[in-house]
Amino acid sequence: MRIRSTVARLAIPAVAIGLIVSGCSSDTSVTASNVDIGGTNDINPKDLGELREGGNLRLALTDFPATFNYLHVDGGNESTSTVIQPTMPDTFVSDAKGDLTVDHNYFTDIKLTNTNPQQVTYTINPKAVWSDGSPITWEDLRSQAQAQAGADRGYQVAAVTGFDRVAKVERGVDDRQAVVTFSKPYAEWQGQFSPLYPKAVTESPGAFNDFARNSLPLSAGPFMVGPIDRTQNRITLVRNPKWWGPAPKLDTITLSVLDHSAWLAAVQNNELDYAYMSGLELVSAAKNTPGIVVRRTPEPSFSHITFNGAPGALLSDPQLRLAISKAIDRQAIVTASQHGIVADPKPLNNHIYMMGQKGYQDNSAPSAFDPNQAAAELDALGWKLNGDVREKDGRKLVLRDVMYQQDQWVDTAKIVQQDLAKVGVKLDIQTVPGTGLFTNVIDPGNFDLAQFSWGGSVLPLSALPQIYAYDPNNLQGNKARIGSPELNAKIEETISELDPAKAIELANECDKMIWQEGYSLPLNQASGTYAVRDNLANIGAFGLASPDWTKVGFLK
């Protein structure tokens, strides 16, 4: 569904990206827009006095959360993020420009109070309580910091997010203040504890795995998890009676698991109020639906093809991955996918920064499209043509490409299939329902190529240790199982750099190394196009901004 805080530390893998689609319509009223992120958003801003009290906002999920613990390796994905975002504390919020301010609902102040050693002091709002009425205290921060740094102690974390650099978390002037001291600098400290979970979730590996596995017993947002209907695959969020902040306008938010192919029809049949739309035909159809308006703002998410480079995998050789990369025409994919939606579509040429974001530069030369060079490199690697398919040591070069069961993903895969066939590589396309795609297929490494999306952040360096650092004993978000000690060292240097300009330089050095190892092929950046009911306010295409769930509602 894509509603989430862009300050969240985890780079979120998403299955229904709403980015890739082939085909176009000759009769549309959609105007192509720029894809550069930052500066604006499109949410129909209205004063609270113009909104009516109550109402149910109906949203879609691509799959049912495997756990409500977003910090867990099974929970660090788009669906879990969508469910918990209105229910859990954040440290900072972002505006449309990507500028951060403290979320005063939860913290009165968060300051970098020392740099040698680095220290951050969190002063908790004295009104802030968990949904059982117990206060949010420094112990919740200490427990979460210990859990997220504790992969070696049995915590199955989705990402360590700098907590491996935390030396200690101590009580400040009282229970409502936490002082975090780092053992070594961490550049993106502003993204830590977003979201914050109660210590009941993080106090032990068992609790971390099981406490929020099937529900979310404790939360602290304007909404809380209410009825869960697993038969209907539906989760209802209700108002939190212990909420101390501005009262939300909505009564409930209903999230239903629905195949992405059915989202447009559900919007048209008045079964959904808000849904991401992909491609010119779907956007045009949504725009022409009575009672629906299309809202658009580019956002920090991108689609990609990730290679499986695990030891023993067919694509374990980086030179083979690069040869195959050179055979794939990313420009053709992006032109087909964003025709009519984005003016002058271009492939994303950076794994860390989005187009329009400070720090973006094109580092994609190692994978530049050149099918003749690709064929020559395959020959040099010993993969010789035998009929239509190359072979080496009796093994055919047949790759399995897995993806969410969505026509748009398959359309992209077919372009890749045609490109690879021209150089003697066979591609088998395998679609998987959203539920289980990561836990059953991608996370165990049961693929050669995998197509999905990463949802990014205004704090992009967080993706480096989460996705691109490689530790075989703690993969975090490294779905490719690709990396090197040299890249790990460069990532370490980057996220230790407190000078933003120097950190950008180092991050691009990392990105060049990521391209050179043939980790993945970024495709296109999200145009951020949503179908929204026209009587909804303060919701739509948020871009870099954080949603304020107390302000979302229906017009009078």
Listed by start position, the domains of the chain span 48-62+222-297+535-554, 89-211, 301-525
Per residue in 145-179, is it b (16+ CB within 10 Å) or e — as a string?
bbbbbbbeeebbbbbbbbbbbbeebeebeeebbbb
pLDDT of residue 13: 62
Going by C-alpha positions, the residue among 294, 246, 256, 227 that lies closest to residue 43 is 294
pLDDT of residue 475: 87
Both structure tokens of 185: 């600098």
Per residue in 91-130, is it b (16+ CB within 10 Å) or e — as a string?
bbbbebebebebbebbbeebeeeeeeebbbbbbbbeebbb
Burial (CB count within 10 angstroms: exposed 0-12, middle 13-18, buried 19+), residue 28: middle
Both structure tokens of 104: 């005063």
Report the alpha-carbon angle 246-257-401, nearest 5: 125
Give the whole-angstrom CA distance, residue 100 versus residue 7.
8
- For domain 301-525, the CATH superfamily is Dipeptide-binding Protein; Domain 3 (3.10.105.10)
Q: Which residues of the chain have pLDDT under 70?
A: 1-33, 151-152
pLDDT of residue 385: 97
Fold of 48-62+222-297+535-554: D-Maltodextrin-Binding Protein; domain 2 (3.40.190)
Q: Cα–Cα distances in Å, from 85 out to 20, 31, 82, 121, 460?
A: 26, 31, 6, 24, 19
Unique residue bearing structure tokens 């107390």 = 550
402: which strand partners? Answer: 430, 450
pLDDT one-digit tens code per residue, 157-206:
888 889 999 999 999 999 999 999 999 999 999 999 999 999 999 999 99
Question: How far is C-alpha 177 from the geometric centre of its chain's CA atoms?
Answer: 30
Q: Is the pTM of this model over 0.85?
A: no
User: What CATH number matches the domain at 89-211, 3.90.45.10, 3.40.50.2300, 1.10.10.60, 3.90.76.10?
Assistant: 3.90.76.10
Going by C-alpha positions, the residue among 300, 318, 302 that lies closest to residue 98 is 300
